[in-house]
Amino acid sequence: MVIFQKSYIKGKNMEKNREIDNREFEQTITKMLELLGEDPSREGLLKTPSRVAKALQFLTEGYHQDPKEILNQALFTSSNDEMVVVRDIEFYSMCEHHMLPIIGRAHVAYIPDGKVVGLSKIPRIVNVFARRLQIQEQMTEQIADAILNTINPQGVAVVIHARHMCMEMRGVQKINSTTVSSALRGLFKSDQRTRSEFYNIINTPAPSNF
- 108 scored as a contact of Zn ion (CB under 5 A): no
Distance in Å from the first CA to the final CA of the chain: 53
Q: Which stretch binds Zn ion (CB under 5 A): 10-18, 97-105, 139-147, 148-156?
A: 97-105
- 94 scored as a contact of Zn ion (CB under 5 A): no
CA 93 to chain centre: 6
Catalytic (active site) residue 192: no
Rounded Cα–Cα distance for residues 85 and 202 (Å): 8
Collapsing DSSP states into helix, strand and coil, what is residue 15? helix
CA 141 to chain centre: 12
CB of 199 to Zn ion, least distance (A): 28
Binding mask 151-190 for Zn ion (x = CB under 5 A): ---------------x------------------------
Binding mask 114-153 for Zn ion (x = CB under 5 A): ----------------------------------------
CA separation (Å) from 136 to 70, 80, 151, 172? Answer: 22, 31, 23, 18
The residue ranges that bind Zn ion (CB under 5 A) are 95, 97-98, 166
Catalytic residue positions, numbered: 95-98, 136, 164, 166
